[in-house]
Structure 1
Amino acid sequence: MFKRLYDWTLSLAGSPRATPALAAISFAESSFFPIPPDVVLVPMALAKPEKAFYYATVCTIASVLGGIVGYGIGYLLYETLGQWLMNLYGYTDKVDSLRAFYAQWGWAFILIKGATPIPYKLVTIVSGLLEYNFLLFVLLSIITRGARFFIVAGLLHRYGDQARTLLDRHFGVFMALIIAFVVLGFWVAIKVF
């Protein structure tokens, strides 16, 4: 199953739909989708290492735009969609402690959580819910998401041949690690407060 996904992603990199698919996944992951864009970014950057930084740019822009939507969910739609998502992730009872924490450490929360496996959508929704300074939120999102994607792109650009050989042989392990990081991220996000 993972081998087919890997082959499909590599073939996608050569198609005209590659960049829009990467952008869509990056956008969705920042506001509601649970799967990180790395699942698509890594094979695409391996298929075309010369475009790794271009793909990182696409991921960063789409992720920040998706983060703005997530912020809007928290800010404008908390009573409906935002509350449902917060309940889904187990944060409904923790809003007051989040508010106190955000007042002092919101900037650090955004920078650190934006680069970790903790779901970024929680950061975006909470930032909107707590009415964190919007322009600062966008700036911090650009920094943290850009750093995350450009580090991945840089590593793949530099060590792409070795990484591709490893992924060709062990894509199932790579996918299992991604899934483990997602699950760990959700678990840590729930246990943080």
Structure 2
Amino acid sequence: MLDQITQLFMQYGIWGLFGMAFLDSFISPIPPFFMQIAMSLLDPGSALRFATVAFTASILGAPIGFLLGKWLGKPILQKLLPEKWVVVATEKFAKNGDAAVLIGAFTPIPFKVFTVLSGVFNYSLTKLMLFAIVGRGLKFFLIGTLFHLYGKHAKVLLDEYLEVTLLGAAALVAIGWFIWNKRRKRYA
């Protein structure tokens, strides 16, 4: 099913990539990452353009996920979970939301999880957008740059080193966030 949906979007080329990345921010079960790689493999010279399209669409879709979470999330959570769990989750997201959104925007975890939860837990839309720009930018442009520099050989590099690279980059982002947060608290 994943392949069929991806093939459906692939028929529309760059607009299909835009649509998939946009929908990934709030509803789609398929990350645009796979389509970006497939398109970059077919046309490595356009890899940075594909990265730009996926990045832009993903950022444009993020506020929709946020609003869906804000409007529909709490009522659904309150029906599914005890109130004390919702309160604890809200407190945890308020405390660690920056790291969750920043790291989540970069990792293979579906981005919609973070956009919707940001709305559910009343996280700052401004911060969501800022961290989405950083995390999604790193993710899409890392892939685009690899294909731009290494052409079709980038697929071999991604197959062999993708998990390690993403985990390493996520760790660097987490460390950077931790240092930034500590410095911000010290000067506040």
Same fold, TM-score > 0.5, yes or no: yes
1:118 corresponds to 2:109: yes
**What secondary structure is seen at the aligned counterpart in 2 of 1:114?**
helix
1:133 corresponds to 2:124: yes
Letter in 2 for 1:142: I
Structure 1 residue 92: Cα displacement: 4.7
Letter in 2 for 1:131: N
**CA, structure 1 residues 117+52, in 2 after alignment: closer, same or farther (shift >3 Å)?**
same
Answer with 95-104 or 105-114: which moved more: 95-104
> In 1, Cα distance between the equivalents of 2:74 and 2:90?
17
Gap regions ≥5 residues in structure 2: 164-188
Q: Identify the structure with bigger relative contact order (alpha carbons < 8 Å, sequence gap 6+).
A: 1
Match of 1:185 in 2: none
Structure 1 residue 103: Cα displacement: 1.5
Report the TM-score when normalising by structure 2: 0.71
Letter in 2 for 1:128: G
Report the TM-score when normalising by structure 1: 0.69
Of 129, 134, 147, 2:138 maps to 147
> In 2, Cα distance between the equivalents of 1:128 and 1:3?
30
RMSD across aligned C-alpha pairs, in angstroms? 3.3
> In 2, Cα distance between the equivalents of 1:5 and 1:75?
28
**CA, structure 1 residues 152+118, in 2 after alignment: closer, same or farther (shift >3 Å)?**
same
Structure 1 residue 97: Cα displacement: 2.8
> In 2, Cα distance between the equivalents of 1:131 and 1:33?
22
Letter in 2 for 1:155: L
Match of 1:182 in 2: none
**What secondary structure is seen at the aligned counterpart in 1 of 2:27?**
coil
**CA, structure 1 residues 70+143, in 2 after alignment: closer, same or farther (shift >3 Å)?**
same
Structure 1 residue 3: Cα displacement: 9.4
**CA, structure 1 residues 96+117, in 2 after alignment: closer, same or farther (shift >3 Å)?**
farther
Gap regions ≥5 residues in structure 1: 168-173, 179-193
Corresponding residue pairs, total: 157
Of 39, 44, 50, 1:44 maps to 39
Structure 1 residue 152: Cα displacement: 1.0
> In 1, Cα distance between the equivalents of 2:50 and 2:90?
35
1:99 corresponds to 2:94: no
Of 14, 19, 25, 1:24 maps to 19
Structure 1 residue 26: Cα displacement: 0.5
Of 71, 76, 85, 1:76 maps to 71
